[in-house]
Amino acid sequence: MKKGFFVVLASVLLSGLTAFAVVKTVKPEPSSELVKTQTAYDSNGEAVRTVNVSLSDYPDFTYAAENAIEAVVYVKVTVKTQQQYQMIDPFSFFFGYGGSEPQTRERIQKGSGSGVIIRSDGYIVTNNHVVQGATNIEVTLNNNKTYEAKVIGTDPATDVALIKVEAENLPVIQFADSDRLRLGEWVLAIGSPLGEELRSTITAGIVSAKGRSMPNEKGEYKIESFIQTDAAVNPGNSGGALVNKEGLLVGINTAIVSSNQSYIGYAFAIPSNIVRKVVNDLIDFGSVKRAKLGVSISTVDEQTAKDNKLQSLEGALILEVVKGSSADKAGVKEKDVLIGIDSTVIKSPSQLQEKVNNFSPGDKAVLKVVRNGKVLLLPVEFHGSAEENGTVADDGTVAFYGAQLKEVDNGVLIVSAGTGKMAQSGATDGFVIQYVNDQKVSKIKEIIDIAKNARRSIFIEGVTASGRPGYFGFGKD
C-alpha cells in the first residue's frame, strides 16, 4: 500500500516538474522591441526619466516632450516700414495752390512664431515667413533667457529660414529621417500658438498623410511635400518642432489650411530631410545649392497608366522637358512616367520634388521611367539651379532667374523663359528687355547688376515677340 502511494506521489511530482520545465521552455522571451526603453540621466548619473518607447505599447510622450521642449524657442519679430502720406490743405481748393509735400512716417509691425535649436552654438531653424522683412529678431528660450538674433539665410522655396543667437551649450533636437515616417505614427507639435502667452505648448496627433502640397495662389516657385498631421497647430506654431515618439525632429510646422486662420483638424510641416539639406547649404555656402531636373510634371491619369501598362496611378507624368536640362541630357521624354530615383519609389509629383531637392548640383543618380510600357533606367547628373544668375550655358546664353538671355541690337532677348521666376511673373520667349527698374539696359551684365542692387523687387519693361509693349515684375526673394 505504501509502495503504491509513493509511486503515485512520485508520478505527481515528476509530472509537475515536467510541466514547469515545458512552460519555462516554450514561454517566449520578451523581444527587444517589446521592452525597448529610453532613459535620461542627470549630471550625477542618476536616472530621472525612463520610458517605454515600444511601438506595441500605448504611447508615452513624456520623454519626447520633456527633452524636445527645451530646444524649441519663441521668436518675436519687429518689422519697420516707411509709409508715405499727404496732408490735405483745406484752403488749396479755394485759393488754387498745390497741396503740401508728401510726408513719410514709420510704421512698426509686430509678429511672432517659433523656432528649433539645431546646433548648440546658437543656430535656430524657423520659417521664412516668420522672419521675412524683420528689422529686429528676439528669441526667448524655454528657460526665459532672451537673445537678439540675426538672419543667416532664407529659402522662400521651402519656407525655411536659419537664424543665429550668440550663445553656447544650448539644448538641441537631433534630426530624424523623415522618409521613414509612417502613416498613423504618433507625433508631437511644439511651439507658441497664438503668441507669448501660450509659449512652449505641446500637442499630440498622428501623421495623417505624407507628400501633401497646397494651392499656391501667388504662382511662386515652391517645393512642397508636406507632412500632414492632426496635432493641433495655430499661427504662432510656425517654425516650431514636429517630433516623433523618441523626441527626434521629423518636421518644421509651417502652415494650416483654414477659413478662419485657426486650427480645424489638420496642419502641415516641412519634412526634416528637406530642412536639413537647406540649413546645411545656408551654413556652408550662404545660399541653397539646389539641383534641378528640368521638367514640368503632373499626376498620372488612368489613360496614361493604361498606355504604359502601369499597375497603379503612382509616379510623375512628364509634361515638358526643358531643353539642355539635366532631364533632357539624360534622355527623358515628354509623356514618360517617372517612377523612381535610385532606390526610392516615386509615387507622386510632390514626392519627386522632395527627392530632387535632396540632391546638390553635380550629384549623379539613376532615373527609372516608363515609356510606352517599357521600363528604362536613365543615368542623370543634376545641374545647378537656373536661379544662379550669370551662369553661361553651352549655347552662349546667360541664366537670369530661370530664363536664358542673349544680347541683341535693341536690348536683351529672352531666348527661353524657362520655369523660374521670370516665367512665373509673365516673361515669354522672344521678349526683349529694354528697361529694368526704370534704367535703360542693353547688356546682360547691366541687368544682373541692377538686380543685385535692387532692395525688394525687379520690374522689367520691353517689347514682346509680337512687337507690343510689355512689362512684368517679381520679388527678389
The catalytically annotated residue of 238, 325, 348, 350 is 238
How far apart (Å, rounded) are the C-alpha atoms in residues 232 and 260?
15
- Cα distance between the two ends of the chain: 102
Tell me the C-alpha distance between 330 and 368, whole Å.
11
Which residues, including other chains, have CB under 8 Å from residue 210's CB and lie 6 or more apart?
A: 181, 183, 225, 227, 228
Strands 186-191 and 160-165: unpaired
38, 40, 46, 49: CA torsion to nearest 10: -80
Nearest CA to 113 out of 154, 161, 167, 80 is that of: 161
State yes or no: is 383 an active-site residue.
no
Query: Do the Cβ atoms of 128 and 139 come closer than 8 Å?
Result: no
For residue 80, what is its C-alpha cell? 519697420
Burial class (CB in 10 A: 0-12, 13-18, 19+), 450: middle
Using DSSP bridges, classify how beta strands 186-191 and 241-244 pair: parallel, antiparallel or unpaired.
antiparallel
Please say whether the beta carbons of 165 and 146 come within 8 A: no
Backbone phi and psi for residue 450, each to the nearest 5 degrees, phi listed first: -65, -40
Q: Which helix (H) or strand (E) holds 131?
A: helix 128-131
Confirm if 278 and 254 have CB atoms less than 8 A apart.
Answer: no
Can 238 be counted among the known catalytic residues?
A: yes
Alpha-carbon gap, residue 83 to 85, rounded angstroms: 7
Out of 54, 112, 159, 350, the active site residue is: 159
307 is catalytic: no
Closest CA to 239 of 344, 127, 319: 127
Catalytic residues: 129, 159, 238
